[in-house]
Chain A
Amino acid sequence: MASCESKSCADCEAVVTRICDSYGSCRGSLIPILHDIQREMGYISSDAMEIVAERLGVTSAQVHSTATFYTLFYTKPQGKNIVRLCDSPPCHIEGSRAVREAISKELGISEGETTEDMNFTFEVVSCMGLCGVAPAIMVNDDVYGNVTPESVAGILNKYREAK
Chain B
Amino acid sequence: MAFYRAHVLVDTGTPAVLKGALAVKSALIEELKRRGLDKEIKVVETGDLGLHNAGCGVVIYPEGVTYANVTTDFVPLIVEEHLLKGRPVEKLLYKEDQPSVVTAAESPRCNEMRVILKNIGVIDPNSIDEYIAHGGYEGLVKALTTMTPDQVINEVKASQLKGRGGAGFPTGLKWEFTAKAAGSDKAIVCNADEGEPGNFKDRLILEGDPHQIIEGMVIAAYAVGANEGYIYIRGEYHQSVEHTEKALKAAREMGFLGKNILDTGLDFDISIFKGAGAYICGEETALLESLEGKRGESRMKPPFPPTYGLRGMPTVVNNVETFAAIPHILAKGAEWYCSIGTGQSKGTKIFSPCGDVLYPGVYEVPFGITLREIIYNMAGGIKSGKDLKAVLMGGPSGVMVGKDALDRKLCAEDLNPGAGALIVLDEDKCIVDLMQNIAQFFYHESCGQCTPCREGCKRMLEVFNWWTAGAGSEDDIALLEQLATTMSLTSKCGLGQFAGVAFKSSLPLFMDEYRAHLKDKVCPTGVCSMDKVLEEVK
Contact = CB atoms under 8 A, between A and B. Distances in A.
A and B touch in the complex (CB under 8 A): yes
Interface of A: 26-32, 34-35, 56, 65-66, 69-73, 87-94, 125-134, 138, 141, 143-146
A87 B437 contact: yes
Contact of A131 (B18, B276, B279, B354): B354
A132 B52 contact: yes
Nearest 10 pairs of A and B residues by beta carbon: A30-B293, A70-B276, A71-B277, A88-B197, A72-B277, A127-B197, A132-B52, A27-B293, A131-B354, A69-B295
A141 B238 contact: yes
Contacts of A34: 276
B441 to A, nearest CB: 6
Contact of A129 (B234, B291, B434): B234
A132 to B, nearest CB: 4
B355 A90 contact: yes
Contacts of A87: 437, 440
A127 B273 contact: no
Nearest to A28: B293
A129 B423 contact: no
Nearest to A71: B277
A65 B18 contact: no
A142 to B, nearest CB: 9
A129 B200 contact: yes
B236 A93 contact: no
B255 interface: no
Contact of B236 (A92, A138, A145): A138
A126 B294 contact: no
B429 interface: yes
A133 B279 CA distance: 20
Interface string B403-426: 000000000000000000101010
With a 10 A CB-CB cut-off, give which of B17, B274, B437 has the most chain A CB atoms. Answer: B437
B293 A89 contact: no
Contacts of B423: 89-90, 93, 131
A71 B200 contact: no
B360 A131 contact: yes
B441 A89 contact: yes
B276 A90 contact: no
B438 interface: yes
B26 to A, nearest CB: 18
A130 to B, nearest CB: 7
A132 B278 contact: no
A31 B15 contact: no
B356 interface: yes
B237 interface: yes
A69 B235 CA distance: 14
Nearest to A73: B276
B445 A126 contact: yes
Nearest to A30: B293
Interface string B193-236: 01111111011000000000000000000000000000000111
Interface string B268-304: 0000011111110000000000111111100000000
A145 B18 contact: yes
B352 A131 contact: yes
A57 to B, nearest CB: 11
Interface of B: 14-15, 17-18, 50, 52, 194-200, 202-203, 234-238, 273-279, 290-296, 311, 352, 354-356, 360-362, 392, 395-396, 421, 423, 425, 429, 434, 437-438, 440-441, 444-445, 447
Contact of A126 (B203, B296, B434, B441): B441
B291 to A, nearest CB: 6
Given A130-B15, A131-B197, A145-B15, A94 B278 contact: no
A31 B288 CA distance: 12
A88 B294 CA distance: 26
A1 to B, nearest CB: 17
B197 A126 contact: yes
Nearest to A27: B293
Contacts of B447: 69
A66 B290 CA distance: 9
A65 B295 contact: yes
Given A93-B423, A93-B434, A134-B355, A27 B276 contact: no
A132 B438 contact: no
With a 10 A CB-CB cut-off, give which of B194, B236, B294, B360 has the most chain A CB atoms. Answer: B236
Nearest to B360: A132
B530 to A, nearest CB: 15
Nearest to B235: A72
A127 B200 CA distance: 10
A25 to B, nearest CB: 11
B355 A70 contact: no
Contacts of B396: 88-89
Nearest to B13: A132
Given A69-B278, A132-B361, 18 more contacts: A27-B292, A28-B291, A31-B293, A34-B276, A35-B274, A66-B295, A69-B295, A87-B440, A89-B423, A90-B423, A93-B355, A93-B356, A127-B279, A128-B236, A132-B354, A133-B15, A133-B18, A138-B236
Nearest to A131: B354
A73 B18 CA distance: 26
A28 to B, nearest CB: 5
Contacts of B311: 28
B392 A89 contact: yes
Contacts of A27: 292-294
A143 to B, nearest CB: 5
A89 B235 contact: no
B14 A126 contact: no
Contacts of B438: 89
A70 B199 contact: no
B18 A127 contact: no
A91 B417 CA distance: 20
Contact of A29 (B198, B277, B293, B440): B293
11 contacts: A70-B296, A89-B438, A90-B198, A90-B360, A126-B445, A127-B195, A131-B199, A132-B352, A132-B354, A132-B360, A145-B14
